[in-house]
Structure 1
Amino acid sequence: MDRILKGIMKYRQIDKAKMVQQFLQVRDNPTPKAVFFTCIDSRMIPTRFTEMNVGDMFVVRNAGNVVPNSQHFLDEITTNEPAALELGCIVNDIRHVIVCGHSDCKAMNLLYKLQDSEFSSLRNRRISPLRAWLCTHALPSLEKFQQFELADYQKPLIFQAETPMRRFVAYVDPDNEFGAEDKLSQINTLQQMQNIASYGFLKKRLETHQLHIHALWFDIYTGEIYYFSRQAKRFLIIDEANFEKLLSEVETYYM
């Protein structure tokens, strides 16, 4: 806690005046560009690696960057994630939703272990909110991973996208650069795109291309960021070699 207090004092001395100016600039007319779902992992700092400023995007964080599918909610039972989608996309008219997973995700490492029936037993879920959260909302990711594993990590996976007619195919880690848990993390990130599209209040905007869903994946040990390209059907590193190609894809299909 002492480090946090010292950090606040440093903020007062160095950054406060600049941030207050930014707050005043966006106070009456904030124009956030994205709703950004990511993990609570302390190594994930999305505003830093995207160079976003005050007012630029909504950031929603939870264990495993999971967005529960709408089928889990009846009547007024819900969680923070769909409420954030409504606040961002409907109330604030944001046109881009981004899900960002990452390597060495502790939640995904735990999800991988939940393949063991004893580890994921009802008794253990009752004493572990994290296991209960993942068993309730992340099992579709694990099931897709198991399909992938049975095919020796070779066959592509199919995901439902914005509308029933816009399914997308994904080749997950075709160069076999990552371990099993990281492959699961990438699959989980793509699965959340499907989950987001399940909400009825987003249906019209998705069908009329007023709202778009994207996936990023961050390798915390190299600092590299990957974008899921529907044209390439895989995650591509965002670098000098791929930037123009990815930018063209985004401008063609998502602007």
Structure 2
Amino acid sequence: MAIKRIIEGLNEFHDNYFITHRKLFEELSNGQNPEVLFITCSDSRIDPCLITQSLPGELFVIRNVGNIIPAYGTLNNSEGAGIEYAVQALGIKDIVVCGHSHCGAMRGLLQIGNLAQQMPLVYDWLKHYGEPTRRLVLDNYKDAPSDKLLKIAIEQNVLTQIENLETYPTIRSKLYSSQVTLHAWVYEIETGEVFAYDASVGKFKILENRPFPVPNIMTGLALE
């Protein structure tokens, strides 16, 4: 049974990894100081700590279906609460929105009518918060083949969430003073590669030795 394997893994973690990293966990018990807010999909095939090789305590992670960030002002928005806490309380300066290849949420978004009966809650989530991406993709890329259309939807969805992040007062303020940097990524499951949006060429490029932060279009007024 899968749960039996999970329990075996817990024991393996405690008896081996935890023991050899005890000092790290003792330090973490005194508080957290993550370096990056990593926003990604709930999909089981993407593991933020694994693909970035991050230690416990280095990433503050928000996950949901489709790595979607509702715009500021949405009621009952736990994503917004997490973002606000990460930036205001933890002082995080880098925020990554990371989509991934073969995303079931984006596939469902492109065929959203099929979800209404079988998964009404998923339908409501994607219809309400994914509509800007769906409309942009179907209006502008309707002649693209289905596999290409899915890739476009995955990438455009990441960029939409970057725009939504900019609606949050705390993010807007930090962007204004260059205290926060936003990053738009897509993880490719089949190759293990990560692609980052490069605004200078208007497309996602493989991420190797340097970041491609989303340009900050907000500049502060000169103080007289």
TM-score bucket of the superposed structures, by smaller chain = 0.7 to 0.9
2:87–2:170: 8 Å Cα contact kept in structure 1?
A: no
Shift in Å, 1:33: 1.1
Pairing 1:48-67 to 2, within 5 Å after superposition: 48-67=50-69
Q: Tell me the secondary structure at the aligned position of residue 56 of structure 2.
A: coil
Gaps of 5+ in 2: 217-224
The amino acid that maps onto 1:10 is: E
TM-score (norm 1): 0.76
Pairing 1:1-255 to 2, within 5 Å after superposition: 1-28=3-30, 30-71=32-73, 73=74, 77-114=75-112, 116=113, 119=114, 124=116, 128-150=120-142, 179-239=148-208, 243=209, 246-247=210-211
110 and 229 in structure 1: CA distance in 2 versus 1, 3 angstrom threshold: same
Give distance in 2, aligned partners of 1:146 and 1:139: 10
Give distance in 2, aligned partners of 1:12 and 1:29: 20
Give CA-to-partner distance per residue, 1:15-43, whole Å, 9 cap, x none: 12134321223444632111110011110
Identity of aligned residues (%): 25
Give distance in 2, aligned partners of 1:142 and 1:83: 25
Shift in Å, 1:225: 0.8
1:98–1:215: 8 Å Cα contact kept in structure 2?
A: yes
Give CA-to-partner distance per residue, 1:205-244, whole Å, 9 cap, x none: 11111111111101111111111122232111123xxx2x
130 and 26 in structure 1: CA distance in 2 versus 1, 3 angstrom threshold: same
Shift in Å, 1:201: 2.8
Gaps of 5+ in 1: 154-175
CA RMSD for the aligned pairs? 2.2
Shift in Å, 1:125: 6.5
Report runs of 4+ in structure 1 exceeding 6 Å deviation: none
The amino acid that maps onto 1:86 is: E
Give distance in 2, aligned partners of 1:3 and 1:126: 30
Give distance in 2, aligned partners of 1:3 and 1:184: 35
1:32–1:57: 8 Å Cα contact kept in structure 2?
A: yes
Give distance in 2, aligned partners of 1:179 and 1:234: 14
Give distance in 1, aligned partners of 2:8 and 2:151: 36
Give distance in 1, aligned partners of 2:164 and 2:22: 37
Give CA-to-partner distance per residue, 1:58-97, whole Å, 9 cap, x none: 01110000001124x2xxx322100110110011111111
Shift in Å, 1:2: 0.7
Q: Tell me the secondary structure at the aligned position of residue 70 of structure 1.
A: coil
The amino acid that maps onto 1:100 is: C
Give distance in 2, aligned partners of 1:140 and 1:125: 22
How many residues align structurally?
212
Shift in Å, 1:180: 1.4
